[in-house]
Amino acid sequence: MSAHDGRTGQTVWSSKLNRGYKNYYTVQPVGDLDNDKVTDFVQIHGGDPRPTPEEKNRPKGELVLLSGATGTRIRWKYVPDKHESYYSPQVISLGEGTKAILFGTGGETIPGALYLLRLRTFLLTGEIDKARKIYSTKDKGIMTPPVLADVNRDRVHDIVMATFNGSVIAFDGVTFKKIWQTDFKHGETYSTPAPGYYNDDDVPDFFVQYSIGIGYPIYFYARYAILDGRTGEIIIELPFSSVSVITSPLTVSFEGAGHDVFLYWKKDCYRHEGQIMKNQFSYSYHQSVASHTEFCRAQFNTTYVTKLLMIGQHIKPPGILLYHSHRYFHEENQYNLDSWRRDAQRYLLNSGADRDLYDEFNSFFSQVSKLSNHQFDSTGPDAVLGGAGGGTAGFGDYGNIPEYENSYPEYVSSM
């Protein structure tokens, strides 16, 4: 982890915490804690992506206060339950100048909780056990930071969280009691809800998305819905995609009630949009490798297609098509998989990565290549369809995409 001068890009300091192979996440400013006139930061150090889903012995997550001037640790403690953590911490106000740190623990297959700890308590005493447990799970962790927004109109930010166990929950920002909960059966998500004024009231609504399947890392399709911020009820559910999506949706805000729009990604099998995947693979492979297999190719002899859409109250579902990956296929896929492998190997060698990590990458890449049998064909994505037309005819012509031609022809004709 390092700090850089915003004007020159030069490194101000570099800091490395040496308690296991763990991730860094987005730091949050907490003001000047050590009286050196430089803003300091809170950080989570935790989470090791290498273990299999079945492995339960994971490195413990750490809550860390860092000097903004030097990157040195002002104070650190293991998280209260000693579980792993993949959570970017948040700083919230409790009123009267009191700040608190919001953080989560656990992973895809490791239970965890959402905690609240007063910043002053942690700074002065380091008593991590005084953290308040707002919510906990028995089988899956709290990995995705929630949205802080006022949903009960008391002028205090509440906590709206999309959990990895399929529930979207709103907690009161004063009492931390549950306001509402909406469940998505068999759903898991890495996405933070997007807040926006979709309907005509003065409470923000939320765009959420969930991957549906047998559980990490294998999913069959993705659901998209907009929830009423007052009640949590589903206002509208959008057409699902046949491939899971983990990118968080975004909000574009406009003046006036109900005028905000949401941007979201969909991923499908080309010419099989909206068909639920029945993922089949050999369980002799590591599941994380199997999850990288090209299931569209395996099931339909076709390729993935990615779309960026915009939806709002006054836009007919599934929304306005802003981007279609096949239109930019040649520009985005000039290099084959082998060239990507060589670039990654070069990076690992030049970055000083240890030999074990280098060998692990080569082993993983070989299995992915074997399962996917992936080749980028310079003639375009249509070539994998067994010759039906071949070449690139029709790519970039949105009128040839039936899903969008039938749903909002007025937008297709203007592209």
**289 vs 171, residue with greater confidence:** 171
- State which of 142, 170, 204 marks the end of a domain: 142
Closest by Cα among 310, 328, 276 to 404 = 310
Count CA within 13 A, CB hemisphere, residue 195.
17
- The band of 362, judged by pLDDT with boundaries at 50, 70 and 90, is confident
| Domain presence at residue 348 | no
Rounded to an integer, the average pLDDT of 387-395 is 30
- State which of 335, 362, 397 marks the end of a domain: 335
Examine the domain organization and report whether 136 and 228 are in the same domain: no
Examine the domain organization and report whether 134 and 198 are in the same domain: no
Examine the domain organization and report whether 124 and 226 are in the same domain: no
The domain tally of the chain equals 2
| Domain presence at residue 304 | yes
pLDDT tens-place string over residues 56-71: 888 899 999 999 999 9
Examine the domain organization and report whether 118 and 211 are in the same domain: no
Examine the domain organization and report whether 75 and 212 are in the same domain: no
Amino acid identity, residue 61?
A: G
Examine the domain organization and report whether 124 and 220 are in the same domain: no
pLDDT tens-place string over residues 147-196: 999 999 999 999 999 999 999 999 999 999 999 999 999 999 999 999 99
- Given the structure tokens 């990507």, which residue do they identify? 340
Q: What is the pLDDT of residue 74?
A: 93
Is residue 53's pLDDT more than 50? yes
CB 292 within 8 A of CB 371: yes
| Domain presence at residue 51 | yes
| Domain presence at residue 358 | no
Q: What is the pLDDT of residue 374?
A: 45
Examine the domain organization and report whether 51 and 126 are in the same domain: yes
Examine the domain organization and report whether 138 and 198 are in the same domain: no
Rounded to an integer, the average pLDDT of 386-399 is 31
Q: At 366, which helix (H) or strand (E)?
A: helix 355-372
| Domain presence at residue 401 | no
Handedness of CA 209, 212, 214, 220 (dihedral sign): negative
Examine the domain organization and report whether 308 and 220 are in the same domain: yes
Q: Which domain holds residue 328?
A: 194-281+289-335
Kindly calculate the radius of gyration of the chain based on its CA atoms and give it in whole angstroms: 23
- SS3 state of residue 350: helix
